[in-house]
A and B are shown apart, each in its own frame.
Chain A
Amino acid sequence: MKITGKVIRYGDNVDTDVIIPARHLNTSDPKELAAHCMEDLDPDFVKKVQPGDIIVAGKNFGCGSSREHAPIAIKASGIACVVAKSFARIFYRNAINTGLAIVEYDGDIRDGDQLDIDFAHGVIRNHRDNTQGRFTPFPEFLQKIITAGGLFKAKETMQ
């Protein structure tokens, strides 16, 4: 899987309460959740996000609650991938299980940069300065889960 997208940049410790505030957890509908994605961190997010955009953040992305609504909201908002220096462990599992592409990578990436990400080979290319960085690609079975759109959707292809 390869993607190209524009970067929306955030900092460290982006928690699940700002990704999708609990006041909106009285639904599990992806579209409704997406309408409030990142609301308490960046109220303009839903206005500016374009399908295929990439969130890039610092360490411990997705810390806090186990709510799967967080990766569901990000994915339904159109975000193609989240790149972060590190992920909180429950979010990490939930992203894979719901088919949201994630990459652990630490590099000089700025808001508005254009990135190419090659998941199979573990390569990120930044159009701004034409630099290239490497990350450890997921094993094939995890890539299949993400490509299929989640653990349960991947079940048949895995058997």
Chain B
Amino acid sequence: MNMTMTQKILAAHAQRDSVLPGELILAKIDLALANDITAPVAINEFRKAGGGCVFDCQKIALVMDHFTPNKDIKAAEQTKLVRDFAHEKGIEHFYDVGAMGIEHALLPEKGLVVAGDLVIGADSHTCTYGALGAFSTGVGSTDMAFGMATGKAWFKTPSAIKFNLRGKLPKWVSGKDVILHIIGLIGVDGALYQSMEFGGDGVASLTIDDRLCICNMAIEAGGKNGIFPVDQVTLKYIAAHSTREPVIHAADSGAEYERVFDIDLAAIRSTVAFPHLPSNTKTFDQIPSIPIDQVVIGSCTNGRLSDLAVAAELLKGRKVNPRVRTIIIPATQKIYLDAVHQGLVDIFINAGCAVSTPTCGPCLGGHMGILAKGERAVATTNRNFVGRMGHPESEVYLASPAVAAASALTGVITDPATI
């Protein structure tokens, strides 16, 4: 039978020749991930169920990235609980302050995910790794506990939506604009329970960072996963980061999709998602002058080196508007160090930005950049729900690093092409 990429990876991990959309399967997992917020709940469930050994101490990743370096006593207690568990069980991929980065930037960088893998993570943005040709999806803490104990997870095989990409993105337009455009098109439940499969000639022009960003926000359309075909760009990235062999699954030409969208990358414009839904998107011909108080450049969506480089290109030799608190958060220690070596951190500090150690902090209103009542932020993060970055009456505008940097300079939401 003809299958999508997602069906093929699920079938391979369920030791089946094929799986049909809607079919329930029990599948082996290659990696189970949790963070300092979700792991404590999973560990408590794991212990209540009798504890014992984890299925494989090399196939569990625990990344302390949300409220770290710990923001308060309670957060410190939660992290300590995870740290003690990791040491007790000999978890090889435990990343604490000093080694940790934002999980979805860190795992690909550490080579923990390769094409063909099946990954579950107790974090909704686990769908990021589809950029590498893996099936990866967010689950809750109980599923994580079950995964840690058994090395397995149950899935309902999703049907799929196909996005045929063609052409090449214009200057200042990135993967972030592509995924915001798509979410604006199909809505926050447009891909509910479904797989979002990307393909077409345009894929070759997208960098791995663009693809990671696009798959990262599949969940913002309700998607179960996002996935890109494996090409030379993918293989080159995997070879540079992992010693593991990728397994390449390609969608069959007769694979069935519930819907197909053709997207011309050359026609995508810088896109901003207005409060309070990621689907509430506008392009600059529809955006009035909106004053802002804060800019955040970072997160699992846009905290990679290429994101910082784009921001630096705009900020170089300039000063941010004194009314705009501009916070730049490299997503991993390696990205931070590369940004130092390439002179990007000099540019940021000279421009009047704060540069932080890796953390998810402000994205979810945890710490490191909380908004007061009535304040507005332009953020390269992934959600703009009510109260997401602070006070319930604050506002978050989601955008690319280029839009965020341009807006930091002018103090209003700004098209980078006008700088």
Contacts from A to B (Cβ < 8 Å): 13, 15, 17-18, 21-23, 25-28, 39-41, 59-60, 63-69, 72, 86, 88-90, 93-94, 97-98, 150-152, 155
Contact = CB atoms under 8 A, between A and B. Distances in A.
Contact of B142 (A60, A63, A152): A152
Nearest to B79: A26
A88 B48 CA distance: 27
B199 interface: no
B237 interface: no
Given A66-B138, A66-B139, A152-B145, 7 more contacts: A13-B189, A26-B74, A27-B78, A68-B141, A89-B224, A93-B143, A151-B146
Contacts of A41: 386
4 tightest A-B CB contacts, nearest first:
A94-B140, A97-B142, A26-B74, A40-B387
A40 B386 contact: yes
19 contacts: A18-B385, A26-B74, A26-B78, A28-B78, A60-B188, A60-B222, A65-B123, A66-B124, A66-B139, A66-B140, A67-B37, A67-B38, A68-B142, A90-B138, A90-B140, A98-B140, A151-B142, A152-B49, A152-B145
Interface stretch (B1-9, B39-47, B246-254): B39-47
B161 to A, nearest CB: 14
Interface size class of B (residues with CB under 8 A): 35 or more
Contacts of B387: 17-18, 21, 40
Contacts of A151: 142, 146
Contact of A59 (B139, B189, B193): B189
Contacts of A72: 41
A17 B388 contact: yes
Nearest to A41: B386
A60 to B, nearest CB: 4
Contact of B365 (A21, A39, A89): A21
Contacts of B392: 39-40
A88 B366 CA distance: 23
Nearest to A85: B189
B365 A22 contact: yes
Nearest to B153: A93
Interface in B31-88: 37-38, 40-41, 44-45, 48-49, 66-67, 71-72, 74-75, 78
Nearest to A69: B41
A128 to B, nearest CB: 28
Interface string B128-147: 00000000001111110110
B41 A64 contact: no
A98 B139 CA distance: 13
A88 B75 CA distance: 27
B192 A88 contact: yes
Given A17-B364, A21-B365, A88 B222 contact: yes
B122 interface: yes
A64 B385 contact: yes
A152 B188 CA distance: 31
A85 to B, nearest CB: 10
B142 A17 contact: no
B100 to A, nearest CB: 17
Contact of A66 (B38, B78, B189, B193): B38
B277 interface: yes
Contact of A90 (B139, B364, B385): B139
Contact of B188 (A26, A63, A66, A97): A63
A152 B45 contact: yes
B269 interface: no
B242 to A, nearest CB: 25
Given A15-B385, A152-B49, A27 B188 contact: no
B383 interface: yes
